Amino acid sequence: MINLHHTHLMATDVEATIAFWRDGFRAEVVYDVDFAGARNVFMTIGTGRIHLYDQPPRALGQATVHHVGVQTDELESIVARLRNMGVSVTDIRSEPTAQYAMAEGPDRLLIEIFQPDPARVPPHLHEYFGIGG
């Protein structure tokens, strides 16, 4: 299984960014957590998903889009396949609820490839990540 899962946006003012998406587009906050060293806010907009990263873009003029998230249950084989293609990919990193690696796509697009751990993802987020049923 491989699914395009989310777009990850940098947020100079995460509270204002939450309000923008919530009030302007009826987005809902699904989860608000410290992950990989920063506050991450997971939101749904209809059937779409965005993640907000509580950090401004690193350089003036840098795009607000931080990365595109691809969810899989075959993380190791995808990382190996990309490396065999000559793609720059980080080592697989572990967080309490998931493992992930970052790859550089065409035009320097940052791509997160992640594999949630169904046993460690809170039950109320199983639907969000398509776990189970």
Residue 131 counted as domain residue: no
The pLDDT confidence band at residue 36, using thresholds 50, 70 and 90, is confident
The pLDDT confidence band at residue 132, using thresholds 50, 70 and 90, is confident
User: What is the residue range of 100's domain?
Assistant: 2-125
Contact 115, 98 (CB under 8 A): yes
Q: What is the pLDDT of residues 38-73, one digit of tens each?
A: 899 999 987 888 889 898 877 655 677 888 888 889
User: Could you give the dihedral angle defined by the CA atoms of residues 93, 99, 54 and 38, in that order, rounded to the nearest 10 degrees?
Assistant: -50
Residue 47 counted as domain residue: yes
Q: CATH number, domain at 27?
A: 3.10.180.10
Helix (H) or strand (E) holding 79: helix 75-84
Residue 43 counted as domain residue: yes
Name which of 63, 55, 68 is nearest 104 in CA terms: 68
Residue 92 counted as domain residue: yes
> Average per-residue pLDDT in the chain?
87
Residue 133 counted as domain residue: no
Residue 130 counted as domain residue: no
The model's pTM is 0.69
Residue 132 counted as domain residue: no
Number of domains in the chain: 1
CA distance 11 to 51: 10
Residue 54 counted as domain residue: yes
Contact 69, 116 (CB under 8 A): no
